[in-house]
Amino acid sequence: MANSTINTPATYEWRHKYMAASLQQALRRMLVAEKICDVDRSDAKRIYNPYGSSPTTVIQFLTGTYDVAAYTVTDDTLEVQDEFIVSNHVYDFEETLSNYNLFSNRMDEMNASVATAIDKWILNALCEDGTGTYTTPSGGFTTAANLNVIMSNLISKVAGYTDAYKGMFLVVENTDVPGIIQAQATNGFSFADAALNNGFMTRYMGVDIYVTRTGTYGTTTTGSRSTDDNTGHRCFGVKNIATYAAPRGIRYEEKLVTGKTGKEVVCYGYAGFKLWTTKASLIVDITLA
């Protein structure tokens, strides 16, 4: 479609469809959370997952009798109670003079803002709610000699559980990468050769490694999770045992505003997160030493 016609009233419908499609594509492409969590896109405000107390098996001589044990059921619920909103106002003279380029730039910036906010929110929630804990040797991931020790210790935290077949993940920040790359380039001939030729390898010891930017792990000060503080932390665990709810995904609106020319552009969506209680030990909160 020609740049000169993208902002005309006749093409508004097409522009609206392009904006929504681009948002969804960017979110699927950029979010680590969608790769490690089970994503629910239904309109449900609450997702219920009740669980019963663990039964105890009795070993005894052959008698043919038994005692009936009581058990309890606990409600475990995900509730959608957070929203992510980003907005801008594009004046008519900006649309007229800039046309497609201005709108495309705003759209890309808003996509990146929403994606980064959701990713940070969910990764910090995983760290905070995971009951598994591990403290790295001094130097953390930045010391190449630590990588094999760290990875083997982390894997041992979840080994032996049936959920482990779903795959394991490790989410680090970009500042951790130098030590990981150095370790990859020196551990094992074939793997080291591949790392030296192809660069950073995203899978190590059967664990998928994801990299986020510096500052992803930190303090959450807004929304329903106002007490998460994960500065100096990283996250490891089993995939698809936590649920990330995104009812209807991200939506988009253009609004006429009194007293201003042009239109107000708003992107918004709702989100909920739950690391189910019975699976919480399969997520490990890593503290860097």
Per-residue pLDDT reduced to its tens digit, 135-162: 999 999 999 999 999 999 999 999 998 8
| pLDDT score, position 97 | 65
88: left (phi over 0), alpha (psi -120 to 50) or beta: beta
Higher pLDDT, 55 or 29: 55
* pLDDT-based confidence at residue 232 (cuts at 50, 70, 90): very high
| pLDDT score, position 24 | 61
Average pLDDT over residues 76-90: 89
Of 99-103, 107-111, 225-229, 239-243, which gets the smallest average pLDDT?
Answer: 99-103
User: Pairing state of beta strands 283-287 and 132-135?
Assistant: parallel
Higher pLDDT, 201 or 75: 75
| Cβ count near 46 (within 10 Å) | 12
| pLDDT score, position 92 | 78
Q: Is the pLDDT of residue 68 over 50?
A: yes
Contact 37, 59 (CB under 8 A): no
DSSP 164: G
Which domains are present in the chain?
A: 3-47+79-287 (3.90.1690)
Model confidence, pTM? 0.81
DSSP 224: T
Pairwise CA distance, residues 238 & 282, whole Å? 6
Pairwise CA distance, residues 31 & 37, whole Å? 10
| Cβ count near 204 (within 10 Å) | 18
CA atoms within 13 A on the CB side of 53: 8
What are the CA-CA distances from residue 102 to residues 17, 43, 115 (Å)? 17, 33, 20
Pairwise CA distance, residues 16 & 13, whole Å? 5
